[in-house]
Each structure stands twice: as C-alpha cells, then as structure tokens.
Amino acid sequence: MAQNGNNPETTEEDFKELKSRCQLLFNADPAQTLDDNALKRFLRAFKNVDAAFTAIVKCNNWRRDFGVQALGPDDEDIREELITRKITVLRHRDIKGRPIIYVSAKRHNANDRDINKVTKFIVYILENACKRCCPDVIDNMCLVFDLKDFSMNNMDYQFVKNLIWLLSKYYPERLGVCLVINAPRMFTGCWSVIRPWLNDVTASKVTFVSNEQDLCQYLIPDMLPTD
C-alpha cells in the first residue's frame, strides 16, 4: 500500500512553499534539486518549512563536500570494508517491500577500525539502500543488527553515533524499522547508553526480536545470512 507521507502538522501549502524555495535556490544546479518525495520526508522530519529548507541546504552542502556522488566499490576504503561483509544491502526485501541493510556485529572490531573510513562506508551503504526504495510502495528501509556472537570488542559507540547523525540529518525519514536480533544479555548495558541519543520517534522504530516467530512479522528469516 502506498504511503502518502502526510504529516498532520504540515499542509499541502507548506509543501508547495518548500518546493518553490528549493527551485529558486537550486535553479542554477538541477543536480541538487530534490524530488517531491524527498521534500516531503524533510518536511515530515523537521516539522515546518523554515527548518526543512535549512536542513535541505545543509544536506546538499554536505553531499557536495563529502563527495557522496563519487562513492563506489572502486574506492579503496569502501572496498576494504566490503570485504569484511560486516554491512550488506540484501537482495531480498522485508514483508513491506523495504530494502534491508544487514549488520553483522561480530565482523566489526571497534579497536581496529578507522572511523572516517567506516563512516564513508556507511554513507555508501545508505545510498545503495535508498536507491532500492520504491516511493510508490514505501520509501524507507529496514535495518537489521545481528548480535549473534556479540562481544564488547564489537561495540562501537562512535559508529552508532555517526549512523544516528547521518539518518537524522541527511537521510530523514528513511529508517522504517530497526530490528535487533540475537541480542545477548550484556547488550542491555550498551542499549542504556545508546537509547538517550535517539529521539522518541526513532526509538519507537527500534524493535528487539527474540525469536524466529516474531521475526516473521517483519521478514522471512531464511533471507538473512547464516554464516
């Protein structure tokens, strides 16, 4: 079922005004022009025209300065991270048609990583997942954190902070659901640190899944990597 993306706090007039502002600003650079779905996501996330417009300008500046369009598997930093298979965009989708980003925590060592390279890799993965979103069906993604064989060496708070920052500032309303599976008891302490970094809307999208039956409400378990 298609989502109309309407926010009761915003109106069609708000959307038209935001679109008009963006067209005037980016008229000289069509490559920076966002489609209607993107404008609506920013408007939903930032609640009003002024805040959404400011966020869009900042996002476009960041994308240019970060070189988002140039990121690809030929980039040495990205190639190194791809080999680890710690984060992948799966071929399959969840039951709502969302692309799935799968994170295998055990493959990441917080004590042996370059946070700048990892952040570049996260952006590359988010871009790939966004390209697989279907606006006519649903325009957000499913994020799966698999904590099987998790240890404290895998717990990277800076990684999590950067991911939250990217999703909230530059990929607003792209997170549909975040599933945490196979969480060991020790992760309770980690979650108590992470939870305050999330606003209530984002936190409500995080679901701890404890068994395969519950997981089936979101996706087919057999589609997840088993190694």
- Whether residues 155 and 81 fall in one domain: yes
Is residue 187 domain-resident?
yes
Which of 66, 90, 108 is where one domain is finished? 66
What does 149-211 look like in DSSP terms, one character per residue?
Answer: T--GGG--HHHHHHHHHHHHHTSTT-EEEEEEES--TTHHHHHHHHGGGS-HHHHTTEEEE-S
* CATH classification at residue 179: 3.40.525.10
- Whether residues 149 and 163 fall in one domain: yes
**At 25, is the pLDDT very low, low, confident or very high (cuts 50, 70, 90)?**
confident
- Per-residue pLDDT for 33 more than 80? no
Is residue 3 domain-resident?
no
Q: Kindly list the distances between the CA atom of residue 51 and the CA atoms of 18, 151, 184, in Å, as whole numbers in the listed order.
A: 10, 40, 39
- Whole-angstrom Cα Rg for the chain: 18
Domain that holds residue 206: 70-223
Supply φ then ψ for residue 198, to 5 degrees.
-100, 140
The string of pLDDT tens digits covering residues 110-156 is 999 999 999 999 999 999 999 999 888 899 999 999 999 999 999 99
- The total domain count for the chain is 2
Q: What is the pLDDT of residue 91?
A: 94
What is this structure's pTM? 0.91
Asked if residue 121 lies in contact with residue 103, where contact means CB atoms within 8 angstroms, the answer is: no
- Whether residues 77 and 149 fall in one domain: yes
Asked if residue 60 lies in contact with residue 21, where contact means CB atoms within 8 angstroms, the answer is: no
- Whether residues 139 and 31 fall in one domain: no
Span 210-222, average pLDDT: 95
Is residue 99 domain-resident?
yes
Strand 99-104 and strand 175-181: the pairing is unpaired
- Whether residues 19 and 131 fall in one domain: no
Asked if residue 176 lies in contact with residue 96, where contact means CB atoms within 8 angstroms, the answer is: yes
Strand 99-104 and strand 87-93: the pairing is antiparallel
Is residue 2 domain-resident?
no
Say how many residues make up the chain.
227
